[in-house]
Amino acid sequence: MFEIVNTPRDYAWGSRTAIAGLLGTVPSGSPEAELWLGDHPACPARVKSTGQSLIEWGALNPERFGTGPLPFLLKVLAAESPLSIQAHPTRVQAERGFATENAAGLDPDSPTRNYRDANHKPEVIVALSDFSALCGFRPSSEQAVIIAELLHQGIPGSSELASAVARGLDTAVGWILTRGDGVDPLVEALSAGIRAPSDAVVDDALETARMLAGHFPGDPGVAVSILLNHVMLRPGEALFLPAGNIHAYLHGLGIEVMAASDNVLRGGLTSKHVDVPELLSVLDFHELHEPRLEATESNGMRTFDSGLGDFILTEIEAHHEVHVAISGPAIAIAIAGEVMLHSDGECRLARGSSVFIEAGESLHRVTGNGRIFVAHSPTRNIPKT
């Protein structure tokens, strides 16, 4: 085991204080949106003692790193303002899209790229603060009540919305994001603020749309938001976002683990590249009744497993001694207190520190008094020596 470090990415939507406050570091003065801990080439972590990127270290030490790139990426995410409405592709879609953009000669760093690698990007995020997000399409019964309220109030564009939804969510989302007839008046009305105090779900959807319009005036994503689940996570609760899931994080601090990819298809609520046809081609238009992911709890551990095989996220609260069985390669970060990690040797992990647990190592005990998260994979291939 050895310590790794990285610098938070300064996306405009990031908080200036949340990550520093969590990890006990000095704020940079700029937005700090995401701290990446992994070997993704867009922002690989570094070995603290040598300054090498984790990619460089892995190439020099394959028997201690494992075969190929890590299948997971661990992040600390802090959203001060809303992220874009987006989705991520399946592995097949990513391979096809990446090959197509490469064949077209699109620069790897082009801002108009949709596919920056050939991997899928399912995600799990565990809230560390109150955390709000849009995630998946609402049950049709809720959509119907919201649209009925807009029709009842005579909101411009509401009849066109009702007609589009009746033909299917793919039709409705396409109509909204391509600014079909009636979309701009609908967005304008939602931006001005509409109240439905007789129904809490409807009122929350309309208030969320008004909030988004304050950040992105005139954006058609404001109208899409009323068709989506608005999820409020309490600290410790988690969301699972599989391929094709339409979502937008709105506000909060969390620990996120995902397949190692940077593929994002955006449809609105952003100044970045938007590709509506490509987004529509990957979206899952089924309604989503429960977007939360329940943890499996045992002996001081909470395990979040999407079942996809790329990653597992394990939260460990150590007050004395916790017995675990986690095989490397893995990455651990401490967000509170101080613990000792016990494998073949021992490694001290204090708040704000992160370590890489090498291939072939087995983390079997955590002692001390602290709280850590460990990202690992159940399917990682380890070369034989």
User: What is each CA distance from 377 to 44, 87, 372, in whole angstroms?
Assistant: 18, 23, 17
Sequence letter at residue 85: I
Task: Give the tokens for residue 86.
Answer: 């987006």
Region for residue 300 given its phi and psi (left: phi exceeds 0; alpha: psi -120 to 50; beta: otherwise): left
Looking at the whole model, is its pTM more than 0.75?
yes
Q: Quick one: pLDDT at residue 67?
A: 84
Q: Is the CA virtual torsion 90, 102, 13, 82 positive or negative?
A: negative
For 340-377, b/e burial (b = at least 16 CB within 10 A) is: ebbbeeebebebbbbbbbbbbbebebbebebbbbbbbb
Q: Which residues contact 105 (CB under 8 A, 6 or more apart)?
A: none
Q: Mean of the pLDDT values across residues 291-303? A: 92
Is there a common fold for 2-134+232-267 and 296-376? yes
Q: Which residue has the tokens 């190592």?
A: 361
Considering the domain 2-134+232-267 in this protein, what is its CATH number?
Answer: 2.60.120.10
Q: Mean of the pLDDT values across residues 238-246? A: 97
pLDDT band at 275 (very low <50, low <70, confident <90, very high): very high
Q: Is 180 helix (H, G, I), strand (E, B) or coil?
A: coil
Per-residue model confidence as pLDDT tens digits over 27-44:
999 999 999 999 999 999
Counting Cα atoms < 13 Å in the Cβ hemisphere of 290 gives: 4
Per-residue model confidence as pLDDT tens digits over 350-381:
999 999 999 989 999 999 999 999 999 876 54
Strand partners, 370: 318, 337
pLDDT band at 299 (very low <50, low <70, confident <90, very high): confident
Q: Do residues 319 and 262 lie in contact, with contact meaning Cβ atoms separated by under 8 Å? A: no
Q: Quick one: pLDDT at residue 196?
A: 82
Nearest to 4 by CA among 344, 349, 244, 328: 349
Region for residue 174 given its phi and psi (left: phi exceeds 0; alpha: psi -120 to 50; beta: otherwise): alpha
Is residue 266 flagged as an active site residue? yes
Q: Quick one: pLDDT at residue 381?
A: 43
Domain ranges of the chain: 2-134+232-267, 139-226, 296-376
Q: Mean of the pLDDT values across residues 140-166? A: 97
Q: What's the 3-state SS for 4-46?
A: EECCCECCCCEECCHHHHHHCCCCCCCCECEEEECCCCCCCCE
Q: Is the CA virtual torsion 39, 105, 243, 209 positive or negative?
A: positive
Per-residue model confidence as pLDDT tens digits over 56-88:
999 999 999 988 899 999 999 999 999 999 999
Q: Quick one: pLDDT at residue 379?
A: 62
Q: Quick one: pLDDT at residue 174?
A: 98
Q: Quick one: pLDDT at residue 308?
A: 87
Task: Please say if the pLDDT value at position 384 is more than 60.
Answer: no
46, 116, 138, 266: the catalytic one is 266
Q: Mean of the pLDDT values across residues 179-188? A: 98
State the CATH class of domain 296-376. Answer: mainly beta
In whole angstroms, what is the distance from residue 375 CA to residue 314 CA? 7
CA 147 from chain centre, in angstroms, equals: 29
Q: Do residues 279 and 177 lie in contact, with contact meaning Cβ atoms separated by under 8 Å? A: yes
Region for residue 134 given its phi and psi (left: phi exceeds 0; alpha: psi -120 to 50; beta: otherwise): beta
- Considering all CA atoms of the chain, what is the largest pairwise distance in Å, rounded to the nearest integer? 72
